Structure formats: C-alpha cells, structure tokens
Amino acid sequence: MAPMRSDVTWADIHLDRLHANLDLIAETARVPLMPVVKANAYGHGAVPLALELQRRKDVAALCLWTVDEAIELRKAGVKRRLILFGGVPQGRAKEAHALGVEPVVGDIDRLPELARAATAKCPFPLHVKFDTGMNRLGAPPARAEALYRAVAANPKLRPVGLMTHFVDAEKKRGVVTRQITLFDDLCRSLTGAGFALPPRHAANSAAACLHPGARYEAVRPGIGMYGYQTFAGAPIGLRPVMEWRAKLQFVRTVAKGASVSYGPRWRATGPTTVAALAAGYADGYSRRLSGKGFAIMGNVAAPQIGTVCMDVTLFDVTGVDAPRTGTVATLMGDGVGADRLAALAGTIPYEILCGVGRRVPRHYLKNGTCVRTLRMI
C-alpha cells in the first residue's frame, strides 16, 4: 500500500498474516482460542484487531488487562467475551459488571466487592487463577481450593474459567512440566470434592505448540499470533503482522572523520552517505539500538549510526542504490523482525512491539489493500 502523502513514518498491519498465524496455532491446539489483545494488542492497535478477531468462530474470548481497555473495546462495538487478566481494581466493580467482562481473581479479599456489584440473576463471571510457580498473581496451592469454594458458594459469583500462568513455556521440559502437574493436581482435588470445573486455560503461544498437556479447553495466543516464534525448533511458519516503515528526510555525504548525532559516538572512516529517517525513540525506535540497529532499503541492510534521537534516526546508506528524500525504509518487519531488534537492544520482542508509539499511524491491510487507518494522535 502506498503511504498517505503526509506520513513520514507508519506501520502496516497485515490482517491476512494475523489470521494465518492464528490458523497455525489453532491447527496445533485444536481447542478454542482466547487471543491476547491487552496493551493495545502489543502495539498493533487493540480496536481494529479485536473487531477483526471477533469474526472468527474459533475465538471464544479476548484477553485484556484493565477495565479501561475493556471500555475502549465495548465503545468500538466489540461484543465478544472479555477476560481481564488484571482483575478489577477497588471501586470499579459495578462499572466492570455493567461492561459484561470476566475478571481474573486470585484472592478471596476481592470477592465481597465483586459480589456486591452483581445479583443472583446476573452473577459476576470470574476466572479463578491458581499460582503454580510464577509467585506473582493467583492463589498459591495452599489457598487455591478455599478460593474456588468461596467463588462457587456465592450465588452472585460464577466461576467460568480456571487458569494458571507459566514461568517459561518456551522450554519442552523443566518448570512448566511441574506447573502442569501441580495445576492438574489442584483440579483433581476440586473434582474430588464434587465440583464440576469450568473450562481450564493455561497455554500461551509457546505452550500451545510445545506442551499438549497444557492446552486444556482453550489456549491464549499472544506473541505467536503477532508473528513471532519464541521457542526453539523448526519454524512453524509465523510471519510478522506489523511492518514499521519510515521515509528518508534528508541524505548527505560526510567526510572521513566526521561525526553524526549526539555524543559523538560514531565517526566516518571514509566518505559516507548518511540518511535521516523520520522516527526516533519517541516513536519507539529504542535508543538502545544506537550503533546496533539497521533498516532495510531495497535489498540492503543499512546500519544505524550515531545516537538514536527522539524524532530522527541516522543510517549509513552508502550501499543503497540512489537514496533520496522520500525513499521508504523498513525499520521493523520482514528481514528486520522485532525478535532481531530485541536481541540487539538486549530485550524481548514483546517490548519492541509494545513500544511502537502513538505518533505512528497504523494502516490495516487485507490482500495488500488498506481497509482502515488508525491514528492515535
């Protein structure tokens, strides 16, 4: 798609790839999907992706973190079930209940306020979370059965899900296998006590592919849906959904010994063609990529040089054929994925994707044609 004339940086969001990635995960998991669209759909734009995903018959629910994220989706017309991983903060139970969301609970102390916001005719649907090793959120094993009993015994509350979260699903063995065993033991304890369990869910993208025993009645694809395989092994065919591009704002030649940008941290070893791209760390191109990153122009990987600035990033385009103002470069996508940038910046692809800023418009493509544009400012 040709960018809008006014755009100097933008992200192409390939909806065809989104569906293809989910198809691959679904074919492996063979259970309903509950895609994770929290944190603005990992930077891809929560509203357009949620509206797209709710068209799929295999999507049972969408996973968020906050009440405000749920409000955004409901206002946009998203009708599917919404699971709130972050639960409901104090004072917002009535608001959350009116939205029809399904909070995650891991502590008995949160139940009274949730019950007061509901009625026996319209109970609060809850996902009960057991902590099997993260030591972060959820009821630890010693209190897990008591939490579930408290939810199941209250006519104003209704358990609609039973869940846990894995420490390191990217490995075939280790802590995840112990977590699965512990979760299964807790579930057997509940069934032994006479409870009919609601659907269980635990697996993210990696666990859905690597751990058959973790698929239960639904899986929660996140980073895999967006095109990144975080576990070792043969590639399963995922492709990046987001491609971030920017235009060259100027091109100039600097002499041997000249520096560029703040610092200076880079000097030319000979005559060098330098180009400035209209994206910087305020747009999400991390300053930690200074002297490490690269952009794709044509078939050339142009190295990033000097310090990444707030609004501009400089690249050595000496090897690029006829670079000029307006030439389009790929900052992230095929050939320069978020996983590669993350490795260079010393972080993870999740952070790189989530970091793409509000100033970057998102263009949503189907079959190469833009079907929607999202501008956040």
- What pLDDT does residue 12 have? 97
Rounded distance, CA 117 to CA 96, Å?
A: 9
- What pLDDT does residue 2 have? 46
The answer to whether the predicted template modeling score (pTM) of the entire model surpasses 0.75 is yes
CATH class for domain 61-214? alpha beta
Please pick, among 171, 256, 262, 366, the residue that the annotation labels catalytic: 262
Specify the higher pLDDT residue, 330 or 174. 330
Bridge partner list, 125: 158
Check: CB of residue 135 under 8 Å from CB of residue 100.
Answer: no
Average pLDDT over residues 339-343: 97
Banded pLDDT at 172 (limits 50, 70, 90): confident
Token duo for residue 145: 């059965």
Token duo for residue 321: 């054929």
DSSP code per residue over 230-276: -SSSS------SEEEEEEEEEEEEE-TT-B-TTTT--B-SS-EEEEE
Domain ranges of the chain: 61-214, 242-374
- What pLDDT does residue 1 have? 42
pLDDT surpasses 80 at 303:
yes
Rounded distance, CA 3 to CA 375, Å?
A: 13
Region 242-374: CATH code: 2.40.37.10
Please pick, among 38, 129, 156, 247, the residue that the annotation labels catalytic: 38
Residues of the chain above pLDDT 70, percent: 98
Annotation marks residue 262 as catalytic:
yes
Token duo for residue 59: 């999507």
Annotation marks residue 121 as catalytic:
no
